[in-house]
Structure 1
Amino acid sequence: MTYKKIDTTNYPEQFRHKEESLIKKLSKFGVQQLDTFESPRKHYRMRAEFRVWHEGDALYYIMFNPETREKIRMGEFLPGSELINRLMKQLIEKLKPNPILRNKLFQVDFLTTTTNQAVISLLYHRPLDDEWEKEATALREEFKELADINIIGRARKQKRVLFDDSVIEHVNVGNKTYQSIQTENSFTQPNARINEAMIGWVKQHIGQNDHDLLELYCGNGNFTLPLAENFQRVLATEISKSSVASARRSAELNNIENVTIVRMSAEEFTEALNGERSSRRADEADIKSFDCKTVLVDPPRAGLDTETLKMVSAYSRIIYISCNPDTLAENLDYLTETHEIIAAAMFDQFPYTDHVETGVVLKAKTD
C-alpha cells in the first residue's frame, strides 16, 4: 500500500523510456521494435487497498511513501477507477459515525468493474458478530443508488460475506463482450483497458487453428475464454482453487463448452504430461487426448521453471505473457535456441512505475 504522486504530464516521456529499456533488453533476441499500448493516464486501476487511520473522531485512508514510509492521507486516489473514488469518499463518511463498523477497522480493499459493480472488504483487528453483520447489511443498502456492491468483513480466521465475494466484469475484445467472474482476494488483471488490449493482441497473432491450445497459469480464465473460439479445444491449468472456480463459472456464464480447466500447478502438469507423476485430476481431464500445438504461458514474476521450459519448448508456437522482463529474458535464452520471436509487445499495465507487461510470440525454427 505505497503511493507516489503521479504526474500525468510526464506520462509520454515515461512511456518512451519503458519502451526503449524493453527493446534494449530484448534486442539480443532480434527484437528491434514493439507493438506498444499506452494506459489511460488516470482511473486505470480497478482495485485498490488502503490502510485506515484513526485519530480521535477523525477517520481517513492512508498509504505510505515507498521511500520514506511516511503516511500519506488519501482523500482521493487518481490511479483508481472512478467508482473506487466515489465509493471511498462516501464510505469513510458513513463509517465515521458508526462505532460498530469503525471499531478496530484497519484496512479497506476495493475491487471494482467497468460495469458499476464492486466488492468492499473491511478488515478488522477484532471478531465480527451478528451486530456487525446487521450494520454492514444496512450500509450495503445505502450504496444501492451509487453501485451494485457486496461487502465482506474479514478478521482473524473469519470471513463474513454480504452477499457475494465476486463481481462480473465485461471484457470487450473485438466485437465481442465476455463476462468475467472476478473474486475478492484472488488475482485479477488490475488495468481493465490494458487487459483488453493484451487479449486482443494475442488473438490477432494466433488466428484460427485446427488444433488445441494449452494454457498454463490461466487464472480466472482471462485469456482462456476469449481464445476458446480460435481453437478446437483449450486445456488450461491453474493452482489457485478460487481462480479455477471463477474460470469454470465464467465459462458457463459465456456458454463456452470447449474448455477444460485443471487445478494443477505448471510443475505438476509438466510431470503428469511426462508420465513422471500420477494425477487423478490429469486423468479425469484426459490431458493426453489433447492435440496442443500452441501453448500460452502467463507465469508469476519468477518466470518458468526448468522442467516447464523444456516442456513448453516442444510446442510449435509459444505465446509468453510476462510481468517481469528480467525473468522473461532468462527464459528466452533457452526458448530462442529452438524458436524465433515473430512478434513482441509492451503493455503499460502499471503506468508511473518501473513495471511493465510484455507479450512475445515465438515460432519453432523447424516449422
Structure 2
Amino acid sequence: MAIHRVNTDDYHDQLQRKAERLRAAYGEYTDLAPELFPSPPIHYRLRAEFKVWQEGGRAHYAMYRQGEYKKPFIIDEFTVGSELINELMPKVLAAVNESEILRKRLFSAEFLTTLSGDALITLIYHKKLDEQWEAEARALQEKLGFPILGRSRKQKLVLERDYVIEKLPIGDRTYQYKQVEGSFTQPNGEICRAMIGWARDACKEAGGDLLELYCGNGNFTIPLAEHFDKALATEISKASVNSAQENIRANGVDNLDIVRLSSEEFTQAIDKVRPFRRLKHIDLDRYDFSTVLVDPPRAGLDADTCAMVARFPRILYISCNPETQLENLKVLSKTHRIERFALFDQFPYTDHTESGLLLVRK
C-alpha cells in the first residue's frame, strides 16, 4: 500500500510564489500586495472521495492521475485530509473487507468531516442496496459512532442523517452550519474561517443593507448579516436554500431572507423585467443595498450580473478563479477601485488560487 503524503518543507515558498503571480496578474488594477491567508500545511481538507479498487477479494482505497483512470494508486493514508478522515479510513476499510455484503460492488467511499469533529461516510455501489446491506451498514455505523449513507443508481439510503453539523468560531461567537451531503461546502475549514473573517472585517463599517448572490448554505451571509440593517441572499440550489433557512434559525439571525433565484433571475427581478413568484414576500424597494457579496462558480459573473453588481457602492468579490475575476474587473474597474485584496490558499501544493477583492465606488 502507498501513503499519500505531501512535502511541507517548501510550503512557505510555494505560497509566496502564488502571491507574486497573483500580484502581477492584478497589477493593472492595483498596487496592493495581497493579504495572505495560508492553509494548515497538512490535514486541511474536510472532505475526500476515494475510488475503491477491488482485487483478490479485497477492497482498497485508490486515486488516479487525471486522464489515467485505469492505473490506480492504492493508498492507506491521506495526509491532506483531516485527522478525522485519516482516523476513519482504516476502520471503514477493515469493516468493508470483513463483510462480503459491504464489499461486493462497492466502487467509491466519501468522507465529509468538520472542524468541530462531526463526520458522515457515504458508500457508493454498483448494486441495489437491500435489507442485508442495511443491517451490516447499521452495525458499522454503531461501531464507528458516525452516520453511514448508502448510494446506488437511483437509490439513497439514509440510516440516520445525510448531513454534518459544523461549528465555526469566528470573532466573538461560534456559528453553526448544517452541511448536507452532495451540496457545496468549503473544503478547507481553516481557510473558510479566514475568508469569513476577512469579509466581516471588510464590511464592519459599511452600514445599509447587504445583498449576496450564490449564498450556498449561508456560509458568508449569516456571519455578515449583523453588520447590516437587513440582508437578502439568493441561491439556486434547493438543498442549499433549505440548509440556509435552517442555519438562519440555528444562529438566531432575524434580519436575513433567502430566496431561491439564480443571479440572472435576480438581475431580472431588480430591474423589474419580470416578476417572480418566489419573491412575492420580498419588497426589493425596501432595501438600501450598500454592499453586494458575490462568490460565483469558476465561470465568474455573466455580463448582465456583472453590470448589475457595478451599481453597488461596495462589492465583495470572492473568486475561485482569478482568470474570470480579472475578466469581470475589466467592467468593474470602470466604476470601482480595489480597496482590499486577499489570497486564500484553499488548495496548497497546487496552482489553484482563491482571491478576495473589496471594490469601492470611485
TM range (shorter): over 0.9
Which position in structure 2 is the counterpart of 1:90? 91
SS in 1 for 2:357: strand
Task: Describe how 1:211-250 pairs up with structure 2 within 5 A.
Answer: 211-250=208-247
Which position in structure 1 is the counterpart of 2:300? 303
Question: Which amino acid counterpart does residue 258 of structure 1 have in structure 2?
Answer: N
Contact 1:235 1:287 in 2 (8 A): no
Counterpart CA distance in 2 for 1:135 and 1:60 is 19
Using the TM superposition, give the Cα deviation of residue 245 of structure 1 relative to its aligned residue in structure 2, in angstroms.
0.8
Which position in structure 1 is the counterpart of 2:126? 125
- Per-residue Cα deviation, 1:218-262 (whole angstroms, up to 9, x for no partner): 011000110011011110000011111111111111111111000
RMSD of equivalent CA atoms? 1.3
Identify if the C-alpha distance between structure 1 residues 246 and 13 changes in structure 2 by more than 3 Å, giving closer, same or farther: same
- Per-residue Cα deviation, 1:109-139 (whole angstroms, up to 9, x for no partner): 1100112211111100011112211111111
Is 1:16 aligned to residue 16 of structure 2?
Answer: yes
SS in 2 for 1:188: coil
Question: Which amino acid counterpart does residue 160 of structure 1 have in structure 2?
Answer: L
Counterpart CA distance in 1 for 2:144 and 2:220 is 32
SS in 2 for 1:197: helix
Using the TM superposition, give the Cα deviation of residue 288 of structure 1 relative to its aligned residue in structure 2, in angstroms.
3.0
Using the TM superposition, give the Cα deviation of residue 285 of structure 1 relative to its aligned residue in structure 2, in angstroms.
2.4
- Per-residue Cα deviation, 1:53-104 (whole angstroms, up to 9, x for no partner): 1111321100012365531111010110000001111100011011111110
SS in 2 for 1:303: coil
Counterpart CA distance in 2 for 1:193 and 1:9 is 20
Contact 2:50 2:110 in 1 (8 A): yes
Counterpart CA distance in 2 for 1:327 and 1:106 is 35
Taking structure 1 as the reference length, the TM-score comes to 0.95
Which position in structure 2 is the counterpart of 1:99? 100
Which position in structure 1 is the counterpart of 2:47? 47
Unaligned 5+ runs, structure 1:
none
Task: Describe how 1:1-367 pairs up with structure 2 within 5 A.
Answer: 6-66=6-66, 68-69=68-69, 70-144=71-145, 149-365=146-362
Question: Which amino acid counterpart does residue 25 of structure 2 have in structure 1?
Answer: K
Using the TM superposition, give the Cα deviation of residue 5 of structure 1 relative to its aligned residue in structure 2, in angstroms.
5.2
Contact 2:207 2:290 in 1 (8 A): no
Using the TM superposition, give the Cα deviation of residue 6 of structure 1 relative to its aligned residue in structure 2, in angstroms.
2.3
Unaligned 5+ runs, structure 2:
none
Contact 2:206 2:291 in 1 (8 A): no
Contact 2:5 2:80 in 1 (8 A): no
Taking structure 2 as the reference length, the TM-score comes to 0.97
